[in-house]
């Protein structure tokens, strides 16, 4: 099982350098998860860094998630509590991982759902989360 962080969704949709390795990783996981927060961050990131309009970015992200059979996980009490714990342990200004709000919720969604986390960058590799890609 895999949970995709916004950074991974952006990398895949925009075919960034990491896209090939991430696509291969997707193929190895039958169950693929995301959250509304991750999708929102992916849309915003595509607008900010790749000059998409919000409407176009939303359509592209939605099509990507549907094409690869992603399931949206609900953010409830367990995810909220785990995100707070992630902030306390790995949050920006508290730990070298420097997780922001979106990162804390990606961490929480992966942790609560016992999923490996797919992401771009090095922040999550400084935590105890199960990684989807070998670093």
Q: Convert the pLDDT of each residue in 105-134 to its tens digit.
A: 999 999 999 999 999 998 999 999 999 997
pLDDT exceeds 70 at position 135:
no
Residue 71 has pLDDT above 70, yes or no: yes
108 close to 132: Cβ distance less than 8 angstroms: no
- Report how far apart the first and last C-alpha atoms of the chain are (Å, whole number): 18
Contact 2, 29 (CB under 8 A): yes
User: d(Cα 113, Cα 78) in Å, to the nearest integer?
Assistant: 10
Q: List the domains of the chain with CATH numbers.
A: 2-125 (3.40.50.1010)
Tally the C-alpha atoms within 13 A of residue 15's C-alpha that lie toward its C-beta. 0
* Cβ 6 vs Cβ 42: under 8 Å: yes
Query: Of all residues in the chain, what percent carry a pLDDT higher than 70?
Result: 99
Q: Is the Cα torsion angle 93, 99, 102, 104 positive or negative in sign?
A: negative
Cα angle 51, 3, 109 (rounded to 5 degrees) comes to 105
């Amino acid at each position: 099982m895999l949970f995709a962080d916004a950074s991974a969704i952006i990398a895949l949709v925009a075919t960034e350098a990491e896209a090939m390795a991430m696509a291969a990783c997707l193929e190895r996981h039958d169950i693929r998860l995301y959250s509304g927060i991750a999708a929102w961050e992916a849309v915003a990131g595509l607008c900010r860094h790749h000059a998409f309009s919000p409407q176009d970015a939303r359509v592209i992200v939605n099509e990507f998630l549907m094409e690869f059979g992603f399931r949206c996980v609900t953010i409830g009490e367990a995810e909220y509590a785990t995100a707070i714990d992630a902030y306390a342990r790995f949050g920006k200004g508290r730990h070298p991982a420097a997780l922001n709000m979106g990162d804390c919720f990606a961490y929480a969604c992966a942790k609560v759902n016992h999923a490996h986390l797919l992401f771009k960058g090095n922040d999550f590799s400084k935590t105890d989360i199960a990684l989807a890609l070998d670093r």
